[in-house]
Structure 1
Amino acid sequence: MTKNRLAYLASLVLTFALAYYRAGFISTMLFYMVVLLPIAEGLMVIITASSFRLSHDIDKKKVNKGEAIHYSIELANITPLLYVPLTVNYTGSDLLFKGNTFDKEPRILYPFKGDSIFQTLECRYRGTYHIGLDSVNIRGFFGLFERNFKSIETHHITVYPKIHEFKRSSIKQSISESSESVLSFDKLDKSNFSEVRPYVSGDSLSKIHWKLSAKKDEWMTKDYEGNVNHHVKLFVNNHLMSLDSALNIVIQDHIIESAVALSKHFLDNSIATDMYWHQSQDKHIKGATPNEFGLFFDVLANMTFENVNEKTLRSIRTETGDHANKAMIVLFTSTLTSELTDTLRKCSRDGYEVNVMISQLPKRILESMKDPIDKHQLYELLDAGVHVYHPIFEDDLCRLEVV
């Protein structure tokens, strides 16, 4: 717009000089036309901004990841005048919608006519975010004046995470010389059991020690070799990073889908599972059967992210204070602090099996982060016996890449 105004000033000076030094009907008319041009354009911008009509809608507000929503915009001219160009600006980032480029072409509305814009948006990431119009830019034909109309209510959409099946046999070696499985109960040696314990809701009948149950007059369960971790504690570090909102949604999507895949796998195997996170306050749910996965899914689908690094740290310390009731520890996070690293190392020294699921972020996000994960902290965790993994999603499967 600055260039247009400079060009106008140059035209004004030129026509004034022409009218002054070459006085005549044509030169005078040209001068007055240039003088009146910004007045006419300003009036047209004001008329357009005050009289155009706008409506917009989406066909559904709750979708599963990968599904498409249909977004429609209606613009109308209710006057007998020609409107100056209107350009719609969207709130939703192109990053959040697959294969879509928002239509940002200027549109001219003729008298008593309207125009429609239809967008099909495939939702790429889990989360709750805005979709709609941020503003309508109204700009004169000659680019001397413009006005942004911003009093537009946006729509909220909720995108539910995708459920990935955990692929146990595809743990890929990355840095370590040998790959290992976080799930020690994957390989069961039914010829040898290593522990007998009281029955837990969800244990299968095949694991019940019938003779000992009859003798003790209570249900007792056998844990086979490779299945001693009958209790898992999941910690979701739902910390909000200091990044652009769209990039945060990408990070959160990866953390949540990792937690969904692993919690489903544990519950499908009837492993007693507790999950801890912070959302205004410390929260906790537990389950031990496949039927209880719905509760975990609902919580993860609607989980919000806040500044919770300190709360996650406190929760881990609290829940690992009782060394008599050890459980497998699984932390889902996108960042590591020195305090968190020290706490996880202490848990490992105290005899806990500690597993850290770190989101493998795209390069463009890592470059935007103020505090990317320090490789030194990773090596400290590995030296302490902590298992560190990158959850990788391929089609409908989730595999763990060993770090």
Structure 2
Amino acid sequence: MKIYRYILLAFLIITTIFVSNHGGNVSYALFYLAIILPIIAFIYTLYVYQSFRIYQSIDRKTIVKGELVPYRYAVSNEQFLTYRSIQVKFFDNKSQVVGANATTEYTLLPGERIEKVTNLRCNYRGEYEVGVNFVVITDFLRILAITYPLQSKYKVTVLPRVLSLSRLRILPIEQDSKRTVTNKNSKEVEMDTELRNYAYGDSLRRIHWKASAKQQSLLTRKMTQNPRQEMNLYLDLYKLNEKEMDKIIIEDKMIEAELSIVKYSQKNGIPMNVYFEQDGMNKMRIQSPTDFEKLYKESATLKFNQKVPIHELLANSILNMGVCIMLVHRLEDALCIQLQSLMKKGTEVVLLYFTSEIGDKEKIKIETLRSLGICVREILREDELTDIL
């Protein structure tokens, strides 16, 4: 666009010099043309600005992160003059209109309408505007451009994604049965080393026929419930001290990790206690699909405005022996000391550290925690959770 402005300016300077030195009808005609053209271009651009129409629609306003939702938009010329250049600009920091090209220019003849049907993808949890952000209108000389902001923009609510995990890599492969609690939904398994005399009503499948033959009396295997290791998850909702986009990505990953871990435990019948601070301390026990749905709805609207540090939240909760999973974005000294104390008491500790970059101090703390037997996983903004969890 600058080149056209320079050409017009050069044309105005040349015609001014020509009029000053030679005069005549042709000289003055060219001079007045050089002055009038930008005025006409300005009036034309204002006309298009006032008469231009754009429409957009989306199938629904509640979306799950990452899913494709049908989206359509249309630009229309409902007047009698041609629109020379229309550029549609979309929101692209948190969402993406699939196949949209921000450099595409539309030329609309009188009565013409151009409609595009595509998909919209939202990349982060939260509530924000999507679709068309503004329109750039350029005049026929390409010397003026006016931004046309949409008065009514689409705002959607984006729910967090829940990853389907076949197993949790962050947990130890062998779990100490002494740290487990029984789950009422767990299945009974047989313990061949413990036998008792047959009692009326016992299933015939439980009879240990070989031992019964030796003892000359019916003996049945004792049945016990398969213990499931109880887990406790702590979510750090303290305000992040990061750049705006880094903050959005880290918050999103923390919520996604929380829900994916809890969903895994719920599907596998492992009791899970979730702790977080939101207008006071909250504890949610997750055992059933209904419990998980309540947590999902709560997590979709969580704000990172925690008023107390995560180590205080941990200190104020009653922690059963089992697995303690910490989702944090800060490595405070007080938290590290507390985690060491938990390890000494027999609690298995897993620390997921979310950050945009790892400083030297954080590296030292991580290595110290690992040397004590604590499982630490660093999760950077570009990491895929499925590769870590």
So what's the TM-score if we normalise by structure 2? 0.76
Deviation at 1:28, TM superposition (A): 1.8
CA contact (8 A) 1:12 1:35 kept: yes
2-side partners of 1:304 and 1:166: how far apart? 27
- The code of the aligned residue for 1:354 comes to V
Once the two structures are superposed, the pairs formed by residues 324-343 of structure 1 within 5 Å of their partners are: 325-343=320-338
Residue pair 2:160, 2:256 contacting (<8 A) in 1 also = no
Determine if the alignment matches structure 1 residue 13 to structure 2 residue 8. Answer: no
The alpha-carbon distance between structure 1 residues 378 and 293, as it changes in their structure 2 partners (threshold 3 A), is same
Select which of 297, 304, 313 maps to 1:306.
Answer: 304
1:382 and 2:377 matched: no
From 352, 357, 369, the equivalent of 1:357 is: 352
Describe the superposition over 1:280-312 as per-residue Cα deviations: whole angstroms up to 9, x where unpaired.
443221123466433334433x14342438443
What are the superposed Cα offsets for residues 187-233 of structure 1, whole Å, 9 maximum, x if unpaired?
58xxxx64897x6543444499999xxxxxxxxx9687xx6x73321
Distance in 1 of aligned mates of 2:361 and 2:253: 16
Q: Helix, strand or coil for the counterpart of 1:274?
A: strand
Partner of 2:316: 318
Say if 1:22 and 1:387 are closer, same or farther in 2 by CA, change over 3 A: same
Q: Identity across aligned pairs (percent)?
A: 18
**Cα pair 2:91 2:131 within 8 Å, conserved:** yes
- Does the 8 A contact of 1:391 with 1:398 survive in 2? no
1:318 CA drift (Å): 1.3
Offset, 1:274: 0.8
2:362 alignment partner AA: D
2-structure distance, mates of 1:210, 1:332 = 44
Which runs of structure 1 show a deviation greater than 6 angstroms over 4 or more consecutive aligned residues?
207-211, 221-224
Distance 1:337 1:48, change over 3 A: farther
Give the aligned residue type for 2:316: T
Distance 1:386 1:196 in 2: 18
In the alignment, residue 304 of structure 1 is paired with which amino acid?
Answer: L
Q: TM-score, normalised by structure 1?
A: 0.73
CA contact (8 A) 1:233 1:330 kept: yes
Deviates more, 1:10-19 or 1:104-113: 104-113
Answer yes or no: is the 8 Å Cα contact 1:136–1:148 preserved in 2. Answer: yes
- Please say if 1:38 is aligned against 2:38: yes
Alignment of 1:278-289 (within 5 A): 278-289=277-288
Instruction: Note closer, same or farther for the CA distance 1:122–1:343 as it changes in structure 2 (3 Å cut).
Output: same
Q: Partner letter of residue 304 of structure 2?
A: E
Q: Which structure: larger Rg?
A: 2
Q: Gapped runs of 5+ residues in structure 1?
A: 172-180, 212-220
> Which residue number corresponds to residue 156 of structure 1?
156
Looking at structure 2, the residues matched to 356 and 37 of structure 1 have their Cα atoms a distance apart, in angstroms, of 67
The CA distance in 2 between the partners of 1:304 and 1:98, in whole Å, is 26
Q: What CA deviation, in whole Å up to 9, does each residue of 1:162-184 have, x standing for no partner?
A: 3322435xx4xxxxxxxxx6246
Q: CA RMSD in A?
A: 3.8
Task: Return the offset for 1:316.
Answer: 1.6
How far did residue 13 of structure 1 move?
A: 1.3
Q: Is contact 2:97–2:120 with CA below 8 Å preserved after alignment?
A: yes
Cα distance in 1, alignment partners of residues 67 and 179 from structure 2? 46
Q: Which runs of 5+ in 2 are unaligned?
A: 197-222
1:182 corresponds to: 171
SS in 1 for 2:249: helix
Give the match's secondary structure for 1:78. coil
Which position in structure 2 is the counterpart of 1:73? 73
| Structure 1 residues 194 and 146, CA gap change in structure 2 (3 angstroms) | closer
CA distance, structure 1, for counterparts of residue 295 and residue 360 of structure 2: 29
Q: How many angstroms does 1:59 deviate by? A: 1.8
CA distance in 1, matches of 2:292, 2:387: 19
Deviation at 1:3, TM superposition (A): 5.5
* Alignment match, 2:51: 51
**Structure 1 residues 194 and 39: alpha-carbon distance in aligned structure 2, compared to 1, 3 A threshold:** closer
- Structure 1 residue matching 2:107: 3-state secondary structure: coil
Equivalence map 1:248-287=2 (5 Å):
248-287=247-286
The answer to whether structure 1 residue 147 and structure 2 residue 142 are counterparts is: no
Q: For residues 357-393 of structure 1, give each alpha carbon's deviation from its aligned partner in whole angstroms, at most 9, with x where no partner exists.
A: 234x7xxx54xx9x7982122112223332113579x
Contact 2:276 2:282 (8 Å CA) reproduced: yes
Aligned residues: 357
The whole-number CA distance in structure 2 between the counterparts of 1:345 and 1:98 is: 48
1:56: how far off? 1.0
Change (3 A) 1:121 1:312: same
1:364-379 alignment, distance < 5 Å:
366=357, 374-379=362-367
The residue type equivalent to 1:389 in the other structure is R
**Separation of aligned partners in 1, 2:276 and 2:69:** 31
2:89–2:135 Cα contact (<8 Å) kept? yes
- Contact kept, 8 Å, 1:65 with 1:160, in 2: the verdict is yes
Cα distance, 1:253–1:47 mapped onto 2, change above 3 Å? same
